[in-house]
Structures are given as C-alpha cells and as structure tokens.
Structure 1
Amino acid sequence: MDRAALLAGLRARIARFDPGLASGEGRATLPLSPELDAHLPWNGLPLAGMHEVLAADPGAAMGFSALMLARAQAALPGRTILWIAPEPDAYPPGLAQLGLSAASLVLVRAARPADALWAAEEGLRCPAIAAALLFGATPDLTAARRLQLAAETGGGIGLLLRPDDESPGPTAALTRWRISARAASNATPHHLGDPAWEIALLRARGGRPGAWAGEWDAARGTLTTLAPAEAGTGAKRKRA
C-alpha cells in the first residue's frame, strides 16, 4: 500500500471513533491526485458519502470510477466492494491495471432499479463495505438522500454512475463529476496507451467547480492531473 492510501486508511479508522479528528472538515478522505485533493474542500475525496459520476464517455467514466473504488479498497482493507448493475460487466485484468483487486469485489445483478437502490442502501449501511458502485438506476432526491445517510452510517463511499444528461438536476451527493475520454500521451498507432480522461468537477459541497486533464500511469499506480491549459505544454506533472 502506498503512503497516501495508508494515511487515508488511518484517518478512516480514526473517524469511526471521533469524526472530528479525521480532517479539518471532519471527514476521512481518499487521495486522488495532489491537484484534485487540494481543490476539494475536504483535501481529498470524502469517505462516508455519495459521489456522482456523469458518463460523457461510458468506458472512460467506468475506468475513473474503478480508480475511486481502488482507492477505497486500499484505504479500507478487508472490506468488500459492491458492483451493482442490471448486468454487471467487470473485466478483472482491466480493473487490476487501475489498482482494483477482484478478490474483494462482489457483483450484484439487479435488473430492476428498485432492487439496485435497495442493494446499494443496504450495502452502504454495512461497515464491512468499503464502496458501492451503482449503475443503471437514477435515484430521485429522496432516494439519493437515503443513500447519503447510509454511506454516513457505514463509513464507505457510494458511487452513482449515470449517463451525462443535459440537465442532471439537483443531487444529494457530496460531489458530481463529468468524465470523458482523451488521448493518452503514450498512445501509438498500435497501442491506445494508459487510461486518460477529461475530468470535470461540476459540484462539490462547500467547494467550487474545476477541470483537469488526467492520465493513469499503470506501471507506477499513479494519477497525473493538469489544468487543461497545461496539458499540452509539457509542464511538470503531479502524481498521487
């Protein structure tokens, strides 16, 4: 486990006893990258909460969500990751490249949205769950608040992966992201390169929006993020 994930795990355990000691804002957090962490009001992605990922590109959004799940898995070792979808389609070798081990991954097939929401709420309420990814069900505001309360009870994170609608509406989630694909810097005509994303933070409770170009270094297990204007300048990159 890297140092950032180890510290996140210790903060999460402290938060179970005294949430006020977890961070300056009272929440244990997961590290994403130095730039993203510094921009978020909690100095990282907060645990014990729901987060929305709008999929401008489904494959890219799924990959970025898997990275978040991997960080939760590293920070909360021994807990289970739930993958809830009408037809769960997880590719373990691809997830492993993003740091997510299939050893603690449980796929939940929920064809009906009501069943998916029930599974997500019950899972998030359980302290043995590090994270729950919900795909294929869009909760109304009341259901979203129930998921947020369940995550606060269990201490893990919930990820709501949904299509990128023009008007996604209000949300009870702590953050809302829009993820689309971009070309990797190490791509060649015969190789797509490492996963790369256009990362837009649309909403953060108590924070402000932002946008970055992100790229995953599979060999080092690090996420590089740059402001879009810097992405093509060859500026020194920050890793986490």
Structure 2
Amino acid sequence: MTAVPIPSSRPSAEQLATLREAVARVAAARGPVLPFGVGPLDHLLAGGGLDGAGLHEIAAASASWSDDAAATLFAAGIAARFAAAPGVSALWALTRFDLYAPGLEQAGLSPEHILYAQGRSDRDLLAMCEDALRDGSLACVIAEVKAADQTATRRLQLAASEGNTPMLLYRRYRRYGQCPLADPSLAMTRWRIGTLSSGRLTAPGVGRGRWNVELVRQRGGPPFSLELEACDDQGRLALPAAAADRAVAAGGAAKFAA
C-alpha cells in the first residue's frame, strides 16, 4: 500500500513572497498613503493612513457653527498635507462661498496651494469633481455638498482611483439633528468631527483647540474615536499634552465605538 502525502496547510516561503509582492503592487496602484503622524490614530487606521486614491467623507458632529468650523479645518489640514509639495494645489469646490481664507491658512492650507470652484448645484459640483479627479494633476479635491447618493459616491471613488487623487467629501447638514453620514456611501473612510474644550494654560489665554475625531466607518478596520488637538499651521493633529507621553497600550484618549 503506497502512502499518499498529505499537502501542508502552510504556504511555502516562495508562496508568501509572491503574495507579499502582489499586495505591494495593489497598494502601490492605489496611490500613496498619507499618515496623520499621530501614533494611536495611524495604528487604528487599517492602512496606516488615508488612501491617496480614495474617497473620504467628513461631517460635523452637529449643525453648530463650532463643529462646522472644526470639520472644515479638519478637511483643510488633510488637504494641506496632501498639497505640501511645491507647485501642487488642492481644489475646493462648493455651491456657496463661505470659507475664511486666513482660517484655512492657519490649518496649513495657504493661498498658493488652493484653487476654488463654485457650482450652481450639488450635482454640478460632483460632476466637476469627477473631472478634476480623473485629470490627476491636483494634490487633492475637496467638495462641500448637502446631498450625494450612493451612486454619486461610487462615481467619485472610481474617479479618485483612476486619477490617483484623494477626494474629501464634506457632507453639510440638510436637516437639524440628522447626521449627514446616515446616508449610504462607498467611501473608504467616514469621519465625524466635534469641538471640545481647549486645555488649560499656565498663563491667561486660550489653549490650542481640541476636537473629538471619530472614525464612523472604515474599510478593513473598526470604528473609533480620539480626543486630539486641532490642526497646526502644517495641517498636523496632535495628542493632548496630558496624553502625549502615554503608551499606546494604555489606550491614551482612544474610545472604541460600539
């Protein structure tokens, strides 16, 4: 009776090397990943940062002016870091121009790195963004809309992938009390940003702003929320001073969503 060899369930070293190369090729084809530079935040993101060829959605935690400003500056900080290289610009598209340029500059997005576009409706705006994404010459595209259905987000994700350009979709409130992120979407990540009280200073004055940064959904990873200090003039977030030296294993200021 001849013994029949039982195939091993473990892949060989050559198979593992081939698999790693295939994964690296797919990751390279998706575009660069932009880390936040904040250890606990990058650790909790599935790809270690934001996919540079994907759609990412942002909303304010409430319809208040303060949360709206925080969400706007969060988007500006991300765009600033995507557009940090000389000679590249981000496109900011909206239907009603209510941006405060000095505020964007304080979050790292200076006038020489930003172009503005205004559309008559959300539909026109989204079509404009698709063209801009596919062109591939921009560092980032940001759009402010009140309505974008699942089909629209699918088109934006495909355009971002084809043009190897990141898309930030800022969903504005349509109705008070109804979170814009309740609508279905094919975005890679969905963020909700709210304001918190700033930290106390040893001298009289107002400390650096603090935000509750909540990742409502991400592909390939869990949701979470973190208390972070607002963007500086380079678009960078930071851990609150009291938690900056805390070990990641201790949890820091992280709160996992249910």
TM-score, with length taken from structure 2: 0.73
Partner of 2:74: 64
Amino acid at match of 2:119: A
Counterpart CA distance in 1 for 2:134 and 2:219 is 21
1:235 matches 2:243: yes
1:20 matches 2:29: no
Counterpart CA distance in 2 for 1:221 and 1:146 is 28
| Percent of aligned pairs with the same amino acid | 35
How far residue 190 of structure 1 moved from its aligned partner, in angstroms, is 7.4
**Where do residues 1-240 of structure 1 align in structure 2 (5 Å cutoff)?**
20-21=24-25, 27-32=31-36, 33-56=38-61, 57-74=67-84, 77-163=86-172, 165-166=178-179, 168-186=182-200, 191-216=205-230, 218=232, 222-225=236-239, 234-237=242-245
Counterpart CA distance in 2 for 1:186 and 1:218 is 18
More deviation, 135-144/86-95: 86-95
Contact 1:88/1:108, CA 8 A, preserved across alignment: no
- Provide structure 2 residue ranges, at least 5 long, that are not aligned to the other structure: 1-21, 62-66, 247-258
1:235 to 1:80, Cα distance in 2 relative to 1, 3 A: closer
Instruction: Supply the RMSD in Å over aligned alpha carbons.
Output: 2.8
Q: Secondary structure at the match of 2:76?
A: helix
Contact 1:72/1:156, CA 8 A, preserved across alignment: no
Q: Secondary structure at the match of 2:238?
A: strand
Contact 2:60/2:70, CA 8 A, preserved across alignment: yes
Counterpart CA distance in 1 for 2:196 and 2:128 is 33
Contact 2:160/2:166, CA 8 A, preserved across alignment: yes
Contact 1:24/1:42, CA 8 A, preserved across alignment: no
Contact 2:229/2:238, CA 8 A, preserved across alignment: yes
Counterpart CA distance in 2 for 1:123 and 1:215 is 32
1:198 to 1:82, Cα distance in 2 relative to 1, 3 A: same
Contact 1:117/1:137, CA 8 A, preserved across alignment: no
Q: Secondary structure at the match of 1:129?
A: coil
Regions of 4+ moved over 6 Å = 187-190
How far residue 91 of structure 1 moved from its aligned partner, in angstroms, is 2.3
Aligned length: 214
- Provide structure 1 residue ranges, at least 5 long, that are not aligned to the other structure: 1-17
TM-score, with length taken from structure 1: 0.78
Q: Which has the larger radius of gyration?
A: 2
1:59 to 1:20, Cα distance in 2 relative to 1, 3 A: same
Amino acid at match of 2:77: L
Q: Secondary structure at the match of 1:144?
A: helix
Counterpart CA distance in 1 for 2:201 and 2:142 is 29
Contact 1:20/1:27, CA 8 A, preserved across alignment: no
Measured against aligned partners, the alpha-carbon deviations of 1:46-84 in whole angstroms (never above 9, x if no partner) come to 11000011112211110111111111112x543321111
Higher strand proportion, which one?
Answer: 1
Contact 1:135/1:162, CA 8 A, preserved across alignment: yes
Counterpart CA distance in 2 for 1:219 and 1:119 is 29
Contact 1:36/1:225, CA 8 A, preserved across alignment: no
1:190 to 1:99, Cα distance in 2 relative to 1, 3 A: same
